[in-house]
Amino acid sequence: MNIFPTKWIDHYTLSGMALVDPLLRWCQKNEGCARWRDIEEAQPLNEYRSFGMHFGSVVSIFGTIAKPKRSLGIFARNDRDLDEAEMAELGRLLRGLHAHETRKPTKSQLEALRLFAQGLPQKQIAHELGISIGAVKGRLRGGAERLEVRTPVEAAFLADRRGLL
């Protein structure tokens, strides 16, 4: 998920910054959390600063042999460094996402969530998928459970944000 400003994302992409970004390089070599100021090779981060991102941190979580996928996060602020509690919370949140990444909704749950996200009522979703309304409710509820949210609305939003729909 990427929620940096669009102008930054465009600049980062068009400039090919992923190939030279010292923050990504740190995440490749290290596991844990670090403030930008503590990453020696990241000084100075003029590209980030030119877009108003003066302070930040990175979080890197390595995968295992069985599940080799790596998770990382780059977080920025314009006003101050993150404090220890904020850093710990970012690490906790990313570890939670990393651990649950494999609990994606099933293909049938995603089908129902996709139609639900398009605004179709459950009756029409049932007709489109050739299943009962009860089965639609079950798929939406199951998708929400796998994404660890309470409602199908939250599940559809989160699945869309994660690019699953």
CA 38 to CA 158: how far, in whole Å?
A: 33
pLDDT of 159 over the 70 cut: yes
Our CA angle for 125, 131, 137, nearest 5°, is 60
Judge whether residue 27 has pLDDT over 70.
yes
Indicate the pLDDT class of residue 60, thresholds 50, 70 and 90: very high
Binning pLDDT at 50, 70 and 90, where does residue 65 land? Answer: confident
Q: How many helices (H) and strands (E) does the chain have?
A: 8, 3
Distance (Å, whole) CA 164 – CA 155: 11
What integer pLDDT is reported at residue 102 of this predicted model? 53
CA distance to 111, 152, 154, 157, per residue, from 128 (Å)? 10, 18, 22, 21
Strands (E), 21-141: 32-35, 55-61, 71-77
DSSP state of 38: G
Q: Is the link from the previous residue into 44 a cis peptide, with omega within 30 of 0?
A: yes
Task: Give the whole-angstrom CA distance, residue 39 versus residue 18.
Answer: 17
Per-residue pLDDT tens for 125-154? 999 999 999 999 999 999 999 988 889 999
User: By the 8 A CB rule, do 115 and 131 touch?
Assistant: no
Q: How many CB atoms lie within 10 A of CB 74?
A: 19
42: pLDDT strictly greater than 80:
no
**pLDDT tens digits, residue range 75-128?**
999 999 999 999 999 998 888 777 765 578 999 999 999 999 999 999 999 999
